[in-house]
Every structure is written in structure tokens, then in C-alpha cells.
Amino acid sequence: MEAKAQDRKETPVYSGFIKYFPRAIKAVARLSYVGNQQHNPNKSLHWDRSKSGDELDALGRHLIDDILEKVDDDGILHTTKVAWRAMANLEKMLEENAPTNNVVELTMDLGKCYECKQPFKPSQVVRHKDKERYCEDCYKNI
């Protein structure tokens, strides 16, 4: 199969995301709307990245707040805000590693085996020795 077609097949946006998390996606989208109204009232919906970019600190705060009480002062679940911050953090991380919208490139560079120079794939076992990283096959022979 052509690499691009294979990549589309292995990126099931509908069956592996929308169908998995329909309520969560709606809740996060609603929070985007509420946040936009709060930060930029009556402006069209957009992610204002100049506001509150401390994704992991905010995520941590909402995680703790969720333990203390489920609902934030604005009526939104802290867990929804945790999910929104996790998405924002992931989006920024992927952008830094793949600054295009090309789905083929929407994965992290996982580096390559020190011996055979083959790039590591997600879920592949990576062995470490003397600060170098090896694939399973090469690790057996060193």
C-alpha cells in the first residue's frame, strides 16, 4: 500500500477519535467557545495563544481542583479543562516536531538505532546501553 494511503488507514480520525469520545469532544469544544467569549467577547472563535499558555501548570491545577470539587466557578467541569489543556499541550508539541498539516508527519521523531540507523517506530522496544539506543535485533549482537 502506498505510504500515504497506509497512513490514512492508520489515522482513524472518525472511528478512533470521534466515535471513542463523542461527549468529551463536545465538552472540549464547548469550553473553547466559553473561553473565547471570556477572553475575546463577541469575536469569532479562535484559539488566542497569547492568553494563558501554561498548559501543564493549568492542567495540574485543574487536576487537583477536580479532587476538591468537580465543577469550576464558571460551571465547567475541571476534567473538561484538564482535557482541553492536554489537547493544547499535545497540539503544540506536535507542531514543534512537524510544523505542517501533513498527516504523514504528525508523529514525533523517535530517533534511530545507533547501530543499524533504522528509525524507531511507535511501540517498538528500544534498548539502552552506554547512553546509546538500539533496536531489539542490534541489541542482541552488541
Residues that bind Zn ion (CB under 5 A): 113, 115-116, 135, 138
Q: Smaller CB distance to Zn ion: residue 28 or 138?
A: 138
| Distance in Å, CB of 30 to Zn ion, minimum | 47
| Distance in Å, CB of 97 to Zn ion, minimum | 22
Q: Smaller CB distance to Zn ion: residue 72 or 115?
A: 115
Q: Smaller CB distance to Zn ion: residue 108 or 116?
A: 116
Long-range contacts of 83-90 (CB under 8 A, 24+ apart): 83/24, 83/27, 83/28, 84/28, 84/31, 84/32, 84/35, 85/55, 85/56, 85/58, 85/59, 86/55, 86/59, 87/28, 88/47, 88/55, 89/55, 89/56, 89/59
| Distance in Å, CB of 137 to Zn ion, minimum | 6
